[in-house]
Amino acid sequence: DVKVTQSSRYLVKRTGEKVFLECVQDMDHENMFWYRQDPGLGLRLIYFSYDVKMKEKGDIPEGYSVSREKKERFSLILESASTNQTSMYLCASSRQGVKTQYFGPGTRLLVL
């Protein structure tokens, strides 16, 4: 089974803090994704990566950056957290050419 793990289930941070959300997948997938999930809005793509050190902006990249130094790990970075970034963050991965994405359990981030 594909396993996608995220470093934290719950996280509480202060406004202005730098926040790192980590995602690791164990199936050698080329593609990795970061989404945020908000009630009434569904999931929206923040960034994705199709290879090590490669990244593409999604629909809502403002206020976020990403890092992919190793194939199995994809990090989402909030350079200066703000209260409007309080949300559920979901990581996903997929094999290149295969359309199905596999999701991690999510990180619920609260920014005070």
Partner 1 sequence: AQTVTQSQPEMSVQEAETVTLSCTYDTSENNYYLFWYKQPPSRQMILVIRQEAYKQQNATENRFSVNFQKAAKSFSLKISDSQLGDTAMYFCAFMKGGGANNLFFGTGTRLTVIP
Q: Which residues bind partner 1 (CB under 8 A)?
A: 31, 33, 35, 40-45, 48, 50, 58, 88, 90, 92, 94, 99-106
Nearest partner of 26 among 51, 52, 50, 2, judged by Cα: 2
Task: Report how far apart, in Å, the C-alpha atoms of 66 and of each of 40, 56, 57, 104, 112 are.
Answer: 25, 9, 10, 17, 22
To the nearest whole angstrom, how small is the minimum distance from the Cβ of residue 16 to partner 1?
28
Name the phi and psi angles at 71, rounded to 5.
-60, -35
Q: Which is nearer to partner 1, 36 or 81 (CB)?
A: 36
To the nearest whole angstrom, how small is the minimum distance from the Cβ of residue 26 to partner 1?
15
Q: Which is nearer to partner 1, 45 or 77 (CB)?
A: 45
